[in-house]
Structure 1
């Protein structure tokens, strides 16, 4: 989305003491060798990754973004919007930043650290995006992707260690509608530079054509861009406005990305744009069926004919607009579909995936047989739940139950009733030969206490959801 034509920064409204205290406590900074860093207590291991079409959080669980954009750089007096969006149910907030190439200001390292700390305090995932690249090649003064990477390089020391809470959207709508073929090399170069700098975050890349990819340049070259990422951790973002005015255009684009088995999100969308309708219900419904994340534009502060895209009036969460009602309260809106990232389940620190979960707090490991001191070996069973099904593909989650005695590991086998094929999987070692599938634990997720059930892994597959009989062999 382009910027407001006029940016009037309103006087900040009062914030609750709770919000200020959380922000102040979470934003504790220490200076090390003159570089701003978050305090050591914020350190963590691991971060977001991608598996096939799925975004996976630092605990190895699929995460589906449901959120809104906050225009921070234009309205820095509205810092409390992060907490307000969290209270409205958002699990992700896309934060608009400035690299200093446009006239709306520059986001500083200390400002960046405060934003990340506030997102963590409010238990939302941050997507941080540089907006100065908007419409490069067509918009006067727009920054290049290479210039955007210069900005991120200056932020590296602030963001290092925040991979479990932050995704880096390299540049917003980084190409207009002119000479768009240049988007490919520019995006490949930006991804490679980000990795050379040392960023281990999931990188988000926006499409050309002001984000809408109506020429399908991002779609056609997604494999090349993804291959440029040595970490295989790039997420593609399309902005859906009037180009996606019919349900079929939305479904076709989603189908095309699914066929490539690459991860896609809707980085922006509205219910109308420039006087033309947008198939917003289809975006929400299809995204829910397919496990695709979305960020609706935007919380408040639009101008220049885009005021209808405000979700609340004058940054007041008590005054939802008609668009805000659709974003937050529709059948597949935020309140009915958003789930917090699992990194916030236990005080905001991700689980170390190299350490098996502890069932017995006195031993730090699976419950021991009191007569032997060794883990018992029991029988187990398993089942497949069809989480979502979009016709050409589907997602399944697998649960293992320790029926008689605790188990320390498991191997599952099943036979597909039709022509299903596993496309991607996480938290398991899985092989498929013909219609036969075998899957085993990966160490830390092998233990299941006696009489308990545990969701152990997930996968995506083709050709319609199925729940065949699963054989479980305990280790």
Structure 2
């Protein structure tokens, strides 16, 4: 059933019809659970870290490669604006032209050349159960297995986002089982990358399905290396809604990113200021939708006009250069020689946050030492 006012179609897809999906859980993972070996980007202590254990906080932009495969220069353009992550739209071939293994390799190579982390996603799953053209997470898993050769050895640089907004507002209760099954299929096939899973309800999880089942989904992953992604559009039109949702994960040691959001949308007016400010305060990643090429009435979600990096839109200027924006808070991944970390900021007690997270806190008390002064580890006991 559609929830009044909160149910919506996100329209960033073929004509860019996407407002994203997957489902998360309130209870944190059980103590004593093993975590993934440090083979690349991974989950540790409820946070996303690199192979050396330093925090990696995504500050990124979505790019619709599947519909604009000739716009390969966009990855470098996005990086030049300060982003440390690009979420790249691919197709399994079920709805749009299949992105081949060779093409995936090329995209990864361009991400590495631009020194950004690649979050690769299959878009054909968008709105499954409600949109008859959408395909299942199981089919998306088959695609990833089919292009495994392009992914091998890229764990430091690539996150596999199994499927975009894999359920709409119909049949979304199947999200938990379908997500666990897809994770198990990928792990069984030897895909060891950090996995990202989108929420249902076109990515916005107004039903709380992902929130309420995230802990069990994470526990089902043999590598304990699954990141949850919420898409924030009209459902998140107040600061309280933004804070409550993100805190439901961070307070329970569950890894969360905002995988898509904009400054307005057809289903309501998202509070982008609260999204970006809360993400900074919690050290949570965000990836805005989208660089360019939106159509079907959502052209306002373009960050640049006509893929021209020198022609920022109002939304583009806001997310790239505004308060809590990408330019101010992004740090290049350490694997590329950057400083990693969270982009700084100040804790409620007045001390600066540690840029390198727990790596500067050897005794685990929440207090670190950087730049010849004390700093606070985000989310620790000292972060009060």
- Measured against the shorter chain, the TM-score band is 0.7 to 0.9
Distance 1:115 1:57 in 2: 20
Shift of 1:157: 1.6
- Does the aligned pair in 1 maintain the 2:263–2:270 contact within 8 Å? yes
Gaps of 5+ in 2: 1-9, 17-37
**How big is each residue's C-alpha offset from its partner over 1:198-219, in whole Å with a ceiling of 9 and x where there is no partner?**
1111100000000000001000
Work out which structure has the larger RCO, using CA pairs closer than 8 Å and 6 or more positions apart in sequence: 2
**Structure 1 residue 57 displacement after superposition:** 1.0
Counterpart residue number, 1:100: 93
Any conservation in 1 of the 2:54–2:358 contact (CA below 8 Å)? no
Residue pair 1:95, 1:128 contacting (<8 A) in 2 also: yes
Q: In the alignment, what sits opposite 2:273? A: 281
- The reply to whether residue 154 of structure 1 matches residue 146 of structure 2 is yes
Q: Radius of gyration: which is bigger?
A: 1
Residue deviations 1:152-202 (CA, integer Å, cap 9, x gap): 001112111100000000000000001211001000111111111111111
1:100–1:333 distance in 2 versus 1, CA, 3 Å: same
1:298 alignment counterpart: 290
Deviation per CA, 1:339-394: give whole Å up to 9, x if none: 10011118x9x9xxxxxxxxxxxxxxxxxxxxxxxxxxxxxxxxxxx965479xx9
Aligned with residue 380 of structure 2, among 434, 457, 461: 461
SS at match of 1:277: coil
Aligned to 2:50: 57
Cα distance in 1 for residues equivalent to 2:315 and 2:269: 12
Alignment partner of 1:254: what SS?
A: helix
Q: Which residue is equivalent to 1:220?
A: 212
Note the C-alpha offset of 1:428. Answer: 7.3
Matches within 5 A, 1:203-352: 203-274=195-266, 276-345=268-337
Are 2:366 and 2:383, in contact at CA under 8 Å, matched by a contact in 1? no
CA distance in 1, matches of 2:373, 2:383: 24
Indicate if the aligned counterparts of 1:396 and 1:460 stay in contact, CA closer than 8 A: no
Instruction: Output the CA distance in 1 between the equivalents of 2:243 and 2:355.
Output: 27
What are the equivalent positions in structure 2 for 1:191-210 lying under 5 Å apart? 191-210=183-202
Q: How far apart are residue 236 of structure 1 and its match?
A: 0.3
C-alpha contact 2:232 2:261 (8 A) present in aligned 1: yes
The structure 1 residue matched to 2:81, chosen from 68, 77, 88, is: 88
Deviation at 1:456, TM superposition (A): 12
In 2: Cα distance, 1:124 partner to 1:454 partner: 30
**Pair 456,321 (structure 1): closer, same or farther in 2 beyond 3 Å:** closer
Partner of 2:70: 77
Aligned with 2:70: secondary structure?
Answer: helix
CA distance in 2, matches of 1:277, 1:388: 28
Cα 1:139–1:234 shift into 2, 3 Å: same
Seen in structure 2, the aligned counterparts of structure 1 residues 263 and 275 have a Cα distance that, compared at 3 Å, is: closer
Structure 1 CA distance, aligned partners of 2:102 and 2:205? 34
Instruction: Indicate how the Cα distance of structure 1 residues 256 and 390 shifts in structure 2: closer, same or farther if over 3 A, else same.
Output: farther
Per-residue deviation, 1:397:
3.8
SS in 1 for 2:251: helix
Is this contact kept in 1: 2:88–2:119, CA < 8 A?
Answer: yes
Distance in structure 1 (CA, Å) of the matches to 2:54 and 2:352: 13
Change (3 A) 1:246 1:235: same
Give yes or no for contact 1:46–1:163 (8 Å, CA) kept in 2. yes
TM-score (norm 2): 0.84
Map 1:327-406; keep pairs closer than 5 Å. Answer: 327-345=319-337, 389=347, 397=354
How big is the alpha-carbon RMSD for the aligned residues of Structure 1 and Structure 2?
2.9
Residues 290 and 390 of structure 1 are in contact (CA less than 8 Å); yes or no, is this contact kept in structure 2? Answer: no
Give the 3 Å change call, closer, same or farther, for CA 105–241 of structure 1 in structure 2. same
Separation in 2 of the partners of 1:212 and 1:129? 17
TM-score of the superposed pair, with normalisation by structure 1: 0.68
Task: Describe the SS at the equivalent of 1:173.
Answer: coil
- Structure with the larger strand share: 1
Structure 1: 5+ residue runs without aligned partners? 8-44, 351-385, 400-423, 432-436, 440-451, 466-475
Structure 2 equivalent of residue 48 of structure 1: 41
